[in-house]
């Protein structure tokens, strides 16, 4: 088996949302790989320093360096750690997560070429990013989707829908949580019994803005904060519709989980989402930041529960393709190659 050094934002134990390094590292270990990770520092400067130091310390030990690659501020972690790998003649594999990476390719073409073309492989978790990179001329690509343990997600058939809405995501501006509250505010005019639950850790000021808006407008919203996977799966049984309001996205695991659980889904049509959800087949897709369209889609689901149930069943079939028992073989093919 190979030795893997995994570079990423390992912040789940520090109260952050679990990222790929948190999720994949134990899965790789279970498959027999030796895995070291970096870094769990909350301070960004210290985190970068530890990432770089860990590469130097493990240059003779690591067969591959895996690097989580995002598109905004954390993009620079990938740039700097990959440069160090090249200097040390270490093979590195980039895991492409940032929903705004297509913009990076356009804004920073030379820097992107240096980063991505010198990688042993770029792993795209969505067909969307795979196609974007392919069209940009990159050939060192492989599609490996985000995964779930399907057995952990019991499918619930919702034959009678109630206006109980669920939102699960980190509170960050790019995920546009405020749209959910504005939709609820209008929704209550026709469905005064409606409820909303918002689950997720705090990333920026958008959380407090949502809390203040809900209190000011007396909206029936439950903010649970961060929940464990079993906790939110159990909570999902109490709700009948899943909302995804993001402005920028790739292939969110929370959406795959909602598909597996049988929650009828209304999502914004951005980034990799339409590669995951098919409009009017596995869910409803609406334009980003469009309160009217999202509200209309929710009402259509409520008024036609047979249609909603059919889409949920189709979504479950789609979600089965993301089971770790299937996806892990793709990872083995990559990591065990010479």
Per-residue pLDDT of the chain (338 residues; tens, 9 = 90+): 899 999 999 977 766 677 899 999 999 999 999 999 999 998 999 999 999 999 999 999 999 999 999 988 889 999 999 999 999 999 999 999 988 899 999 999 999 999 999 999 999 999 999 999 999 999 999 999 999 999 999 999 998 999 999 999 999 999 999 999 999 999 999 999 999 999 999 989 999 999 999 999 999 999 999 999 999 999 999 999 999 999 988 889 999 999 999 999 999 999 889 999 999 999 999 999 999 999 999 999 999 999 999 999 999 999 999 999 999 999 999 999 87
Give the three-class secondary structure for 219.
coil
Domain count for the chain, please give it: 2
Q: What are the helix (H) ranges across the chain? A: 20-30, 44-57, 75-87, 101-107, 109-117, 127-135, 177-190, 206-216, 229-236, 253-261, 273-276, 291-303, 305-319, 324-335
Residue 132 to residues 140, 223, 271, Cα–Cα distance (Å): 13, 36, 10
Residue of 28, 174, 179 lying closest to 97 (CA atoms): 174
Same domain? 191 vs 102 = no
Give yes or no for a contact between 69 and 94, defined as CB atoms under 8 angstroms apart.
yes
Same domain? 278 vs 155 = yes
Same domain? 50 vs 113 = yes
Same domain? 110 vs 164 = no
Give yes or no for a contact between 7 and 54, defined as CB atoms under 8 angstroms apart.
yes
- 0.95 exceeded by the pTM? no
Same domain? 87 vs 103 = yes
Same domain? 188 vs 307 = yes
Same domain? 297 vs 168 = yes
Same domain? 277 vs 135 = no
The pairing of strands 3-7 and 34-38 is parallel
φ, ψ for residue 199, nearest 5 deg = -115, 130
What CATH number corresponds to the domain at position 134? 3.40.50.2000
Number of alpha helices (DSSP H) and beta strands (DSSP E) in the chain: 14, 12
In the chain, what are the helix, strand and coil shares in percent, each to the nearest 5?
50, 20, 35
Residue 42 domain boundaries: 3-147+323-335
Write the DSSP symbol of residue 10: -
The pairing of strands 164-168 and 241-244 is parallel
Same domain? 270 vs 194 = yes
């Amino acid at each position: 088996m190979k030795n893997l050094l995994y570079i990423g934002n390992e912040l789940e134990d520090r109260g952050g949302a679990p990222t790929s390094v948190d999720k994949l590292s134990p899965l790789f270990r279970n498959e027999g790989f030796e895995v070291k990770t970096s870094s769990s520092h909350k301070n960004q400067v210290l985190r970068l320093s530890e990432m770089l130091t860990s590469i130097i310390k493990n240059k003779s030990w690591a067969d591959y360096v895996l690097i989580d690659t995002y598109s905004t501020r954390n993009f620079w972690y990938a740039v700097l750690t990959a440069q160090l790998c090249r200097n040390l003649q270490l093979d590195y594999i980039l895991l492409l997560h940032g929903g705004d990476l297509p913009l990076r390719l356009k804004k920073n073409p030379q820097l992107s070429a240096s980063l991505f073309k010198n990688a042993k492989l770029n792993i795209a978790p969505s067909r969307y990013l795979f196609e974007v990179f392919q069209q940009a001329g990159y050939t060192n690509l492989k599609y490996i989707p985000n995964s779930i343990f399907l057995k952990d997600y019991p499918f619930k058939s919702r034959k009678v829908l109630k206006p109980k809405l669920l939102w699960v995501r980190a509170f960050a501006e790019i995920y546009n949580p405020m749209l959910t509250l504005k939709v609820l505010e209008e929704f209550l005019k026709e469905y005064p019994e409606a409820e909303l639950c918002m689950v997720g850790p705090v990333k920026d000021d958008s959380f407090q803005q949502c809390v203040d808006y809900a209190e000011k407008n007396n909206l029936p919203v439950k903010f649970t904060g961060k929940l464990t996977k079993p906790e939110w799966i159990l909570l999902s049984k109490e709700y009948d519709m899943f909302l995804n309001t993001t402005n920028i996205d790739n292939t969110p695991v929370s959406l795959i989980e909602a598909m597996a659980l049988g929650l009828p889904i209304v999502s914004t049509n951005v980034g990799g989402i339409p590669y995951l959800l098919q409009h009017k087949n596995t869910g409803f897709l609406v334009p980003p930041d469009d309160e009217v369209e999202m509200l209309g889609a929710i009402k259509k689901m409520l008024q036609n529960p047979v249609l909603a149930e059919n889409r949920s069943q189709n979504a479950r079939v789609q979600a089965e393709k993301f089971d770790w028992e299937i996806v892990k073989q793709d990872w083995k093919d990559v990591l065990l190659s010479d």
